[in-house]
């Protein structure tokens, strides 16, 4: 069965802290994605990766960076957390060989920046 896991369900950090959100998938998928979800704004793509060490900016990359050193793991980094980064963060993955665009999502991390 498809599985995408995220390191934390809930996280509370202080302004200025460096924050790491981890995502792991066990489906050998090539593509991985990070979204943030805010009320009234829906899901917005932050970054995605189509291969190890490869990344592309999404629609709202400012204030974020990513790392993909291994195929199964995609990390989202907030270099200096700010209160406007308080949000629900969702990771997803997609396989090249499926020939569909279906994405599989993790359970989400609700991040609060104080």
Partner 1 sequence: SQQGEEDPQALSIQEGENATMNCSYKTSINNLQWYRQNSGRGLVHLILIRSNEREKHSGRLRVTLDTSKKSSSLLITASRAADTASYFCATGGGSNYKLTFGKGTLLTVNP
User: To which residue do tokens 């999502």 refer?
Assistant: 105
Distance CA 97, CA 31 (A): 11
Site string for partner 1, 70-99 (x = CB under 8 A): ------------------x-x-x-x-----
Select 45 or 77, whichever has its Cβ closest to partner 1.
45
The angle formed by the CA atoms of residues 17, 21 and 22, to the nearest 5 degrees, is 145
Select 33 or 74, whichever has its Cβ closest to partner 1.
33
108 belongs to the binding site for partner 1 (CB under 8 A): yes
40, two tokens: 């009234």
Residue 28 neighbours by CB under 8 Å, 6+ apart: 71, 72, 95
47, two tokens: 């970054």
Around Cβ 81, how many Cβ atoms within 10 Å?
21
Supply the minimum distance, in Å, between the C-beta of residue 6 and partner 1. 8
26 belongs to the binding site for partner 1 (CB under 8 A): no
**From candidates 21, 25, 46, 48, binder to partner 1 by CB under 8 A:** 48
25, two tokens: 């998938």
102 belongs to the binding site for partner 1 (CB under 8 A): yes
Residues contributing to the site for partner 1 (CB under 8 A) = 4, 31, 33, 35, 40-43, 45, 48, 50, 56, 58-59, 88, 90, 92, 94, 100-108, 110
């Amino acid at each position: 069965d498809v599985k995408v896991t995220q390191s934390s369900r809930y996280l509370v950090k202080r302004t200025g802290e460096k924050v790491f959100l981890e995502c792991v998938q066990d489906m050998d998928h090539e593509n991985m994605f990070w979204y943030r979800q805010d009320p009234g704004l829906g899901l917005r793509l932050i970054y995605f990766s189509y291969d190890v060490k490869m990344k592309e900016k999404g629609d709202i990359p400012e204030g974020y960076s990513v790392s993909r050193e291994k195929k199964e793991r995609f990390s989202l980094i907030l270099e200096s957390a700010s209160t406007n980064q308080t949000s629900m963060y969702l990771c997803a993955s997609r396989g090249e060989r499926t020939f569909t665009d279906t994405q599989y999502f993790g359970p989400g991390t609700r991040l609060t920046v104080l």
